[in-house]
């Protein structure tokens, strides 16, 4: 690839939250960005933010846990935007419950979106990365990977993503592809707002309570995570691979 050619980034779960902030940030870094989410229409706001700033973006409806939809999405992105060589596996869902109340379907849903989704997307995109002899994969893990009450499914999936990341780094390194994980702590998004609602707290009170437990004394923003992802996806990060970066306002236990 010539240095003037635009790299194409794929960000999943990019209709809102961390994914949307990441898509906008990567576009600001000069990437063309495929904005993937379950509902193509829901991607419109993110795409408009990017195009309004002079960038290139494409809205793509795709369930990342569906093998055929993932392949179709990557084929469409390659045809309409260009061969993707940056992938951010960000799509995620919560189905929190204590073990004795957790259904097998809540376990499967979380595994399928986070782990199977990241596997399917990585497998579909790797061909383009290998052909280009360049690639950047970032998987969204979580502080919950270290264990979190009420999240056996999510904690296992987020720890699993760290193993997936390290293995991708080992398998694909010789093709110029790096893989890293960003593991956020508490970030103010619809996901944490839904958790506040589930536990019967107002979101402001929920964030204030969380902030008291964080060394920098505030909760994170989607941009805090987008900044870390921008580093890992940059050309300058080519010797950083297989790492997990906790972005949580302080060290975790
Ligand atoms: N918010 C936090 O505090 C926090 C902390 C640690 C990790 N994370 C992780 O960061 C990522 C983004 O979180 P967020 O807070 O922005 O969440 P969010 O709920 O605001 O956004 C997630 C997006 O993923 C999309 N999505 C869900 N299932 C999908 C599927 N099968 N296919 C395609 N898209 C799908 C949703 O429609 C939504 O737009 C997730 O992986 C989450 O687990 C979040």
Distance between CA atoms of 24 and 14, rounded to whole angstroms? Answer: 9
Residues 206 and 94 in one domain: no
**What is the torsion angle, in degrees rounded to the nearest 10, for the CA atoms of residue 204, residue 205, residue 207 and residue 208?**
110
SS3 95: coil
70 and 163 inside one domain: yes
Angstrom distance (rounded) from CA 115 to CA 101: 22
Same-domain pairing of 201 and 154? no
Q: What is the pLDDT of residue 211?
A: 98
Give residues with Cβ within 8 angstroms of 191, minimum separation 6.
17, 92, 94
CB 94 within 8 A of CB 154: yes
Name which of 208, 209, 205, 203 is nearest 190 in CA terms.
203
**Run means of pLDDT, 10 residues per run, the chain, 253 residues:** 79 99 98 98 98 98 99 98 98 98 98 98 98 98 98 98 98 98 98 96 98 98 98 98 98 85
Distance 90 CA to ligand 1 centre (A): 6
Give Cα separations from 32 to 58, 79, 205 (angstroms).
8, 13, 38
Q: What is the rounded distance in angstroms from the CA atom of residue 252 to the CA atom of residue 11? A: 27
List residues bridging with 9 in a β-sheet: 33, 86
CB of 17 sitting under 6 A from ligand 1: yes
Across-strand partners of 245? 182
Q: Which domain holds residue 214?
A: 189-219
Strand boundaries in 141-229, DSSP class E:
177-184
CA 140 / ligand 1 centre spacing (Å) = 9
Per the structure, the count of domains in the chain is 2
Q: Is residue 127 one of the residues assigned to a domain?
A: yes
Element (H, E) at 134: none
50 and 141 co-located in one domain: yes
Between CA 170 and CA 185 the distance in angstroms is: 26
Which residue is associated with the tokens 């990060």? 237
168 falls within a domain: yes
Residue having the nearest C-alpha atom to atom 30 of ligand 1: 63
Indicate whether residue 142 lines ligand 1 (CB < 6 A).
yes
Q: Is the CB of 92 under 6 A from ligand 1?
A: yes
To test ligand 1's pocket by mutation, which of 14, 16, 17 has the most ligand atoms within 8 angstroms of CB? 17
224 ligand 1 Cβ < 6 A? no
Looking at the chain, the whole-number percentage of residues with pLDDT higher than 90 is: 98
Does residue 251 lie in a domain region? no
Same domain, 27 and 143: yes
- Count CA atoms closer than 13 A to 125's CA, side-chain side: 33
35 lines ligand 1 (CB under 6 A): no
- Length of the chain, in residues: 253
Q: How far is the CA of 91 from the centre of ligand 1 (A)?
A: 5
Give the model's pLDDT for residue 1.
52
Instruction: Give the pLDDT confidence score for residue 5 in this predicted structure.
Output: 85
**Are 229 and 209 part of one and the same domain?**
no
Distance CA 253, CA 179 (A): 24
Q: pTM to 2 decimals?
A: 0.98
Instruction: Give 191 Cα–ligand 1 centroid separation in angstroms.
Output: 7
Is ligand 1 within 6 A of the CB of residue 139?
no
């Amino acid at each position: 690839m010539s240095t003037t050619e635009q790299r194409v980034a794929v960000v999943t779960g990019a209709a809102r939250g961390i994914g949307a902030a990441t898509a906008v940030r990567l576009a600001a870094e000069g990437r063309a960005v495929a904005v993937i989410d379950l509902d193509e229409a829901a991607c419109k706001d993110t795409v408009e933010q990017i195009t309004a700033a002079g960038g290139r973006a494409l809205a793509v409806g795709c369930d990342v846990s569906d093998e055929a939809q993932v392949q179709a999405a990557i084929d469409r992105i390659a045809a309409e935007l260009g061969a993707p060589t940056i992938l951010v596996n960000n799509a995620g869902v919560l189905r929190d419950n204590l073990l004795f109340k957790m259904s097998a379907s809540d376990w499967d849903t979380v595994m399928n979106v986070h782990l199977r989704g990241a596997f399917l997307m990585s497998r579909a995109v790797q061909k383009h990365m290998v052909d280009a002899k360049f690639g950047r994969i970032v998987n969204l893990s979580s502080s919950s990977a270290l264990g979190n009450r009420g999240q056996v499914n999510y904690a296992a999936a987020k720890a699993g993503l760290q193993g997936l990341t390290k293995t991708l780094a080992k398998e694909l390194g010789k093709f110029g592809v790096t893989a890293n994980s960003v593991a956020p702590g508490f970030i103010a998004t619809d996901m944490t707002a839904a958790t506040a609602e589930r536990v019967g707290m107002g979101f402001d009170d929920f964030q204030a309570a969380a902030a008291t437990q964080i060394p920098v004394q505030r909760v994170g923003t989607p941009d805090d995570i987008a900044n870390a992802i921008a580093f890992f996806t940059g050309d300058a990060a080519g010797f950083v691979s297989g790492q997990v970066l906790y972005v949580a306002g302080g060290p975790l236990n």
